[in-house]
């Protein structure tokens, strides 16, 4: 009888007594870290990159919008600095004025560390007096580096020097700054997550095209190594995208150049080889395409079966003899 009473009690108990509360993201979060915001004056690209010893840093610290600017909001983080800073810059305020306006209305400003840069390269940063040491920032021409809870105060000067000395694409210069921070000891607690965003200097209205890099390493023992690897994967994809655009213009040389650059970065990638072959067939260069198909087939048998499936969507011509010639290739 007692068991029956207990079971009845369980059955009629409110569901809420057994359910877990719904998880939600906090409005405030600790994000002690090092980061960089920067602009490339030659391309106009704007970027932000960060590494820290908490997971999912890419969800809170880095913010960027094409043709507008970039924000890094960290320390005792107030995430709204990101979207609000971008809104103010989009409305016409310079990055320094946007930052000043947000700090003026923040009762906890001294716990913040924030940097902003706009599409014209105007940049400013703030390190509150209550940020955990070692903490500080350095504002240079077209960039700012900032850090808190570091092993030492050598971190952000090293970041600045590395960024200024590095040559090449903005994304690679951002990576150089992060690597320099880590060489000086970086975050006192270690490494866990990283992120990098690069956007176009002028917005086209095409979000996909305007967001050049948007990469997160949410949790890793070696977040900077993984971030660099993924940046290079994305670079290869950009070159492949250029090849597709060249194909639309019937530009065979452009197709070959795009995939050649992509495959310099990822020489063993079957995907790149396969689609290189596909685009050459579309441009009536079957003989030139066959070596690329052969390479892809050597990496996995399923690539051979994919070719006939591309006829229906129009990615390969409806020519049975062409498809059969591709499928009959030996993969050695």
pLDDT digits (tens, 9 = 90+) for 81-128: 999 999 999 999 999 999 999 999 999 999 999 999 999 999 999 999
CATH number reported for the structural domain that contains residue 265 in this entry: 1.25.40
| pLDDT tops 60 at residue 9 | no
Q: Does residue 182 lie within any of the structural domains?
A: yes
* Cα–Cα distance, 74 to 127 (Å, whole number): 10
The answer to whether position 318 is within a domain reads yes
Q: What is the largest CA-CA distance in the chain?
A: 85
Say if residue 44 is in the same domain as residue 193: yes
Q: Tell me, what's the pLDDT at 32?
A: 82
Task: Show the CA angle centred on residue 170, arms to residues 53 and 269, nearest 5°.
Answer: 80
Give domain status of residue 18, yes or no. no
pLDDT > 90? residue 267: yes
Is the pLDDT score of 165 beyond 70? yes
The pair of structure tokens assigned to 80 is 């709204």
Containing structural domain, residue 267: 237-327
**Where is the domain boundary, 221, 248, 265?**
221
- Tell me which of 194, 221, 248 is where a domain ends: 221
Structure confidence by residue, pLDDT tens digits, 36-84: 999 999 999 999 999 999 999 999 999 999 999 999 999 998 889 999 9
Give dist(CA 216, CA 204) in Å, integer.
24
The CATH number given to whatever domain includes residue 159 is: 3.60.20.10
In a domain, 131, yes or no: yes
Residues 51 and 80 in one domain: yes
DSSP per-residue string spanning 290-303: HHHHHHHHHH-THH
Under 8 Å between Cβ of 63 and 70: yes
Task: Name the pLDDT band for 150 (thresholds 50, 70, 90).
Answer: very high
- 103 and 157 belong to one structural domain: yes
- Both 200 and 241 in one domain: the answer is no
Residues 217 and 261 in one domain: no
């Amino acid at each position: 009888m007692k068991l029956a009473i207990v079971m009845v009690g369980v059955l009629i108990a409110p569901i809420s007594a057994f359910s877990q509360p719904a998880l939600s993201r906090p409005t405030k979060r600790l994000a002690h870290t090092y980061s960089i915001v920067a602009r490339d004056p030659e391309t106009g690209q704007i970027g932000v990159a960060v590494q820290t010893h908490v997971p999912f840093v890419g969800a809170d610290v880095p913010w960027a919008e094409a043709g507008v600017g970039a924000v890094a909001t960290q320390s005792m983080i107030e995430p709204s600095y990101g979207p609000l800073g971008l809104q103010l810059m989009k409305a016409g305020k310079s990055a320094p004025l946007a930052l000043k306006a947000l700090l003026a209305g923040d009762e906890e400003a001294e716990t913040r560390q924030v940097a902003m840069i706009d599409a014209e390269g105007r940049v400013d940063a703030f390190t509150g007096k209550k940020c955990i040491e070692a903490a500080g920032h350095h504002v240079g021409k077209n960039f700012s580096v900032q850090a808190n809870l570091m092993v030492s105060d050598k971190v952000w000067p090293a970041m600045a020097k590395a960024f200024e000395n590095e040559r090449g694409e903005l994304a690679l210069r951002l990576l150089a700054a992060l690597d320099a921070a880590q060489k000086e000891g970086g975050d006192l607690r270690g490494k866990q997550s990283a992120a990098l965003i690069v956007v176009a200097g002028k917005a086209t209205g095409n979000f996909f095209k305007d967001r050049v890099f948007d990469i997160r390493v949410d949790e890793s023992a070696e977040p900077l190594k993984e971030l660099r690897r993924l940046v290079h994967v994305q670079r290869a994809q950009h070159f492949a995208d250029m090849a597709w655009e060249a194909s639309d213009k019937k530009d065979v040389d452009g197709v070959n150049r795009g995939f050649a650059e992509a495959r310099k970065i990822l020489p063993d990638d079957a995907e790149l080889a396969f689609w290189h072959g596909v685009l050459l067939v579309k441009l009536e260069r079957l003989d030139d395409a066959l070596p690329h198909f052969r390479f892809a087939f050597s990496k996995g048998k399923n690539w051979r079966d994919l070719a006939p499936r591309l006829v229906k969507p129009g990615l390969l011509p409806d020519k049975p003899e062409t498809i059969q010639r591709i499928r009959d290739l030996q993969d050695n």
